[in-house]
Amino acid sequence: MTRRAKITPQRAVRPASSKSAPAARIVRPRDLGISRSHLARLVARGQAERVARGLYRLAGAERTTHHTVALVARRVPHGIVCLLSALSIHDIGTQVPHEVWLAVDRKARKPELGDLPVRIVRFSGATMEHGIEHRLIEGIPVAVTNPARTVVDCFRYRNKVGLDVALEALAEALRTRKVTVDAVHEMAAACRALSVVRPYLEAFAWR
């Protein structure tokens, strides 16, 4: 009689997008193929930790600076990390957001994330695709706006984040060479925000 393989926390699934990617550090019971009662026993033994509703971190998995971003991405895989949270991920400027800025399609239902600090904004049409990059944070696939798109979005949403934040983002991204004037110009045009961004971009270009 063939014995069933014992399931342990270390057998967490790898992200479906890559067979060679690191095992996810933040998991749900179904990712491990175990029942909630079994997972509760693992928590009691210190082999797993509940980090949010329905989400657990396996023993030995370190919490990173962007831990909350990973939690939100696990809950809302179709969301795009943007604005202040994207600035933090790209290490642009001095913003330290206390909530995850997350964009979803304007037609999508607002995610219910009562136990996680999230600020929802709406993207539509092509803005859900322009300047989006993908990375792993704590083993979780995360979609995030790239540096040029992030800078442009700060101007697009200046009434939400503040014009001072947008100006700092542009100055710092250019100073650290994370963007070029041409890259920001092209992204602003793609997002139909050139009329807003151009005056500030030209001012920095002539410095």
Mean pLDDT rounded to a whole number for the chain: 82
Band of residue 171 on the pLDDT scale cut at 50, 70, 90:
very high
Q: What percent of the chain has pLDDT over 90?
A: 58
d(CA 29, CA 113): 18
Neighbour-count burial of 202, counting CB atoms closer than 10 A to its CB (0-12 exposed, 13-18 middle, 19+ buried): exposed
pLDDT tens per residue, range 106-133: 999 988 887 889 999 999 988 999 999 9
User: Pairing mode, if any, of strands 55-58 and 80-81?
Assistant: unpaired
Average pLDDT over residues 44-63: 66
State the pLDDT at residue 140: 87
Locate 136 and state its tokens. 């792993």
Residue showing tokens 């998995």: 61
Contacts of 45 (CB under 8 A, 6+ apart): none
Average pLDDT over residues 164-170: 97
Collapsed DSSP state (helix, strand, coil) of residue 50: strand
Q: How would you write 156-198 as a 3-class SS string? A: HCHHHHCHHHHHHHHHHHHHCCCCCHHHHHHHHHHCCCHHHHH
Q: At what angle do helices 181-190 and 163-175 cross, to 10 degrees?
A: 140
Collapsed DSSP state (helix, strand, coil) of residue 111: coil
Neighbour-count burial of 142, counting CB atoms closer than 10 A to its CB (0-12 exposed, 13-18 middle, 19+ buried): buried
Cα–Cα distances in angstroms (integers) from residue 43 to residues 12, 56, 85, 175, in the given order: 15, 9, 30, 46
